[in-house]
Every structure is written in C-alpha cells, then in structure tokens.
Amino acid sequence: MECFYLCHGLENRERFKNLKKKFKAGVIQFDVKNHQININLDTAFGYLEGLASENACLAVLPEMFSCSFDNENLSKHSKFTEKIVKRLCLFAKEKKIAIVGTLPEEEKDKIYNTMFFIDVDGKIKGRYRKLHLFRLTGEHLYYSAGNKIVSVDTGFGRIGLMTCYDLRFPELARTLFLQGAEMIVVCAQWPEPRKEHWETLIRARSIENQLFMVCSNRTGTDDQLHFPGMSMIVDPMGNILARKGNDDGFASAGIDMGKVEESRAKIPCGKDRRQEIYG
C-alpha cells in the first residue's frame, strides 16, 4: 500500500504515481472544554496517539479543539496557537501522520478560525480561514471571515479544506472539486438539533462531487448546547465507511483514493457539466 511509502517519509509522488493510494484515515471527537487548553490538548494528543498506534496516516480533530468558542478570550488563546501548531508538527513528523484541526489565529487585530493541514513530514501544507461565520451563535461578532478557498497538495493527493457551517454552501465544495480535490476534510462543532443535516450534507457533498469526506465533530455540552459527535468518513459514492457514536474517541477507515477516479469514470458528472449555461 502507498501508505507504507507515505509513512516512511518518501515524498516522490511521481515515483509512486502508478500505485493505488491506500491508507487509513481517522476522525477524532471529544467534549472540547471551554477555555481549558491543557485539558483539551491532553485529550487530543491522547487520541492522536491512539490513531497513530493503529497506523493511521491522517487524523482530523474537531473545530477549535484547543479552547472551544471561548469568544471573550480569543486574543489570549491565539497566543498559544503557534506553540500548539509546532507541537502538532513534531508529532506528525515523528508518527508519520497528517493532522488537521482549527485554532484561533490573530493577525492585525483580527481573529480567524483557521484550519491547519500538517502533512506526514511535519510541514504545514495549508492554512484555511473559515469563510462562512455562523450568525446564529454570533461568530460574526468575534471572528473575521476568510476570503480564500484552499485545497492542498499532499502525499495523499489534493485535499480540500472546510469548517463546520461551510458544509451548507455547495458552491465551496464544488469549487474544491473544480480545483481537483479528491477528498474534503471538515472540522466542526455541529449541534444536536441539526444532526440529521450534518449527515445529509456530508453525504450530499460526497455524492455530488464524487470524493471522500473525512469529518470530525465534537461531543458534550457548551452553554446548554449539546453536540452529538457523529464524526464520519464517507466514500465518493456517499457510503459511510466509518461513523462514531456520541461518545468520545475516534473512528477510522481504510481509504482507497483510486475509488475517486473509478466513481468519476462510472458516472461522469464532471464531463457532463454545462458551465456555459450556469454562468
């Protein structure tokens, strides 16, 4: 499996381009404690260790996994972000596992909900600032929205980046598809009352773009808002390969990136698009 080559530091994609890219991906979920960075990091790294011990090559963490939406103290929390990312980079390099998660990032007195994609070599391959801010919980009052759609070239192929509320915007997923994404990763804090939407939207984004979705959601309760977990991995035909319940922990599944090309050849939606009509 190509996972062998990825996880042993060989980065020459051309050399192995004829191999099917097969590897294990995992989604992590836990009750992200408001404000309590040390507790959250201990939990996150504990589950990362668990996935690494199962030879997973990709792990996705929940949204704002270090401090949750402790919005009144974001500037304070953002000062720890660089140190946290460095620790993630060292872990990724040592364990040969790519890591994805979002953290508060401050720049020029603005706070962003920023996703970091750290590849198996321990290098940051992409930064994505959440485009769509969820007004119902006042995110627009504390965060600035990003203005760039991001897909990254990794050892696994091209991967698109999305955060939580972004799932409701098919234009974003379609743009990532047009950029050549074979997988989209999602970090979220998606609440219990709309858990059916969570699964439906993940499967819809997968089916309509014929790619893998690897999506992490948190558990627990924050300010009387409950979170269901339900982290999941979905294949390019919308089949659920792995799904976690509402308890803390992780779920994993084998990924065969060859299924992307296979599904797109079987039902050639990309070739049959009518861009000249859509405008």
- Is residue 44 a contact partner of residue 52, using CB atoms and an 8 Å limit? no
Domain that holds residue 110: 22-278
Task: Identify the DSSP state of 71.
Answer: G
User: For the chain, how long is the longest CA-to-CA vector?
Assistant: 53
Q: What is the pLDDT of residue 12?
A: 40
What is the rounded CA–CA span in Å between residue 113 and residue 156? 25
- In a domain, residue 4? The reply is no
- In a domain, residue 17? The reply is no
- In a domain, residue 99? The reply is yes
- Is residue 134 a contact partner of residue 106, using CB atoms and an 8 Å limit? no
Q: How far apart are the first and last CA of the chain?
A: 42
- In a domain, residue 193? The reply is yes
CATH of the domain at 201: 3.60.110.10
- In a domain, residue 3? The reply is no
- From the list 230, 235, 231, the residue with the least C-alpha distance to 212 is 235
Is residue 148 scored above 50 in pLDDT? yes
What is the rounded CA–CA span in Å between residue 17 and residue 39? 41
**How confident is the model over 196-248, as pLDDT tens digits?**
999 999 999 999 999 999 999 999 998 889 999 999 999 999 999 999 999 99
- In a domain, residue 254? The reply is yes
- In a domain, residue 274? The reply is yes
- In a domain, residue 237? The reply is yes
Say what the pTM is.
Answer: 0.92
DSSP letters along 29-41, please?
E-B--TT-HHHHH
Q: What is the domain count for the chain?
A: 1
Q: Are strands 22-29 and 249-256 parallel, antiparallel or unpaired?
A: antiparallel
| Least reliable range by pLDDT among 103-107, 135-139, 174-178 | 135-139
Instruction: Cite the active site residues.
Output: 63, 130, 164
